[in-house]
Chain A
């Protein structure tokens, strides 16, 4: 394997684990947006997490299923996508560290809802003692 002198966007970034400024895991890189300007190199503009971009990675059937559920719930197509500017990246190593507050990202909405309404209702889930 020849050495590389830069960041390999597919190998190093796509699907990498993301952590917010508090060190909390907030998901994985589902897609990377590039800005294409005539006569200039492509610039990495944003990390996309959740929503339709995650569904695309799973397969066409998931895109259709998600689209059907979204239209039933009157959500727009981009509902649940977190778009983090690439300028918020603080480091790329085993995880990608972002300078954002993970609790405010729309992609964590379902996870938070499940935590509050389903997992949180299971006796003992909040660490309480008998």
Chain B
């Protein structure tokens, strides 16, 4: 079954891992070209999810988020690059990973 959704409806959504723990918010979607006989498609290969740590409550606005991203790890900000296969979008309002936070940390370290 196929359905349509807008990028703007995914950006900012809180992502939780398979255990229900909060991972962060979707910040970016990385698309790559997929070549076919009948043409090309842009498909989403990765979701970039930002975790603001203790500053989460202060990063409601775009300006505050950009500021925190600029200072990165100094202020507890982390960005995860999550493969599309890991993301369960059966409920796009509540995206969920089919892996745990430990798997994500292992992926980021590799």
B45 at interface by CB-CB < 8 Å: yes
A6 at interface by CB-CB < 8 Å: yes
Per-residue A-contact encoding for B66-88, CB less than 8 Å = 1, 0 else: 00000000000000000010000
Name which residue of chain A comes closest to B41, CB basis: A43
Chain B nearest Cβ from A41, distance in angstroms:
4
Chain A nearest Cβ from B71, distance in angstroms:
13
B residues engaging A (CB < 8 A)?
1-8, 10-11, 27-32, 39-46, 84, 89-90, 92
Q: Which residues in chain A, 87-123, are within 8 Å of chain B measured between CB atoms?
A: 87, 89
Chain B nearest Cβ from A22, distance in angstroms:
22
Task: Please report the C-alpha to C-alpha distance between residue A27 and residue B84 in the assembled complex, in whole angstroms.
Answer: 30
Is A7 a contact of B42 with CB atoms below 8 Å? Answer: yes
Residues of chain B with a CB closer than 8 A to A56's CB: 8
Is B2 a contact of A14 with CB atoms below 8 Å? Answer: no
Residues of chain A with a CB closer than 8 A to B89's CB: 36, 42
Give the most central of B27, B31, B89: most A CB within 10 Å: B31
